Amino acid sequence: MKQTVLLLFFLFLSPLAAGAAVPHGQDQLDMKIGQMIMVGFRGTTLKDAPALVEDITKRNIGGVVLFDYDVPTKSPGRNIVSPEQLRRLTRELQQTAAIPLLIAVDQEGGRISRLKAAYGFPGSASAAMLGRINNPDSTYLSALATSETLENAGVNVNFAPVVDLNLNPGNPIIGRLERSFSADPAVVSAQAAATVKALHEKQIIATLKHFPGHGSSTTDTHKGFTDISGSWESIELEPYRKLIENGYSDLVMTAHVYNATLDGLYPATLSERIITGILRDSLGFSGPVISDDMQMQAVAAHYNLRTAIKLALEAGVDILLFANNSNYDPGIAEKAAAIIRSLVDEGALFPERIDRSYLRIMKLKQQYLDMSP
């Protein structure tokens, strides 16, 4: 009852975060739309990223994602060069925002670590190594060290743990990179639960990925169409089921995989059958859903930006992620916000659809971030 009253309060009486002011010239709908967008950018300080400053102050984007390496230019030092520099950058980001930002990295451990030892951060074990040890206490301690590193850096979202099952050890994007704990859903569930517990110790938001399962694939969604119709197994849902049953309500990240057994038309990120039908209705997930990078070729090569955004929102995605690290477009947040606004203005999306995502995002932020003025 208390939760229902709280949601009604935010929806009808206080559509903006406590203490947050609407930027000049921006209405409440634009504010809500902005919160549904997370972008990547180039720069180790905000002086390097004037377009991002506009995205934060004028469009009120809800989050940013940080990388240590810029893929288009094949150069290091994109956002992260040292612990001290990263602390300054995250402080600048938060000081610029009217509503506290989600500041995210992929700090899974092992090879998928943006905060590397080479930059002065502590090293970390891969999920595969921890899965082989198969001791949740060891995993918890490893994840707690990562949580402390993230907390000190001012990062509040970890795109981890990966709960994909290692059904294909030769998988070029999961198995070969040692990103999966195990092929056994019970092992994955236990290790993921220990990881989430450790992240929460330091008020770091967790992210289960990549729904509904990327572990059996033979190709990489970064590079193109990825069909798992003949390899996916229903046991890949078990880690999600287990964690959600135990109260998990942080982020879930979608996969851009195509699975004709679940939806014969759309990849998971764009599939209402998969996101709303399975994740929300069947598994009972109530937290925010974040897309994998919308600029990956599995989506971008097959759908124009407007169509991809429309389908993702209709499917049930709450946060659209534009990592800006496949193709770099400093205007992507402005384009995405304008597309969402036009979809609402034209009646293709109802304002209530935006409200649902906004409420989930704000509930998550209020749970983990300092929302004081």
Query: What confidence tens digit (pLDDT) does each residue in 44-93 have?
Result: 999 999 999 999 999 999 999 999 999 999 999 999 999 999 999 999 99
Q: What is the pLDDT of residue 27?
A: 86
Q: Which residue ranges make up each domain of the chain?
A: 39-368
Percent helix / strand / coil, the chain, rounded to 5: 45, 10, 45
Report the sign of the C-alpha dihedral through residues 31, 38, 208, 199, in that order.
Answer: negative
Compute φ and ψ for 289, nearest 5 degrees.
Answer: -100, 130
Over residues 124-135, mean pLDDT? 97
Residue 114 banded pLDDT, cuts 50, 70, 90: very high
Residue 292's SS3 state is coil
On the question of pLDDT at 20 being above 70, the answer is no
Residue 40's SS3 state is strand
Over residues 152-176, mean pLDDT? 97
Is 329 an annotated catalytic residue?
Answer: no
Tell how strand 63-65 and strand 107-109 pair up: unpaired
Percentage of residues of the chain with pLDDT beyond 70: 93
Is 210 an annotated catalytic residue?
Answer: no
Over residues 326-350, mean pLDDT? 97
Percentage of residues of the chain with pLDDT beyond 90: 89
0.85 surpassed by pTM: yes
Catalytic-role residue among 222, 250, 263, 318: 222
Q: What is the pLDDT of residue 26?
A: 62
Catalytic-role residue among 30, 164, 263, 292: 292
- Per-residue buried b or exposed e for 21-46, using 16+ beta carbons within 10 Å of the residue's own CB: eebeebeebbbbbbbbbbbbbbbbeb
User: pLDDT tens digits, residue range 285-311?
Assistant: 999 999 999 999 889 999 999 999 999
Q: Which CATH architecture has domain 39-368?
A: Alpha-Beta Barrel (3.20)
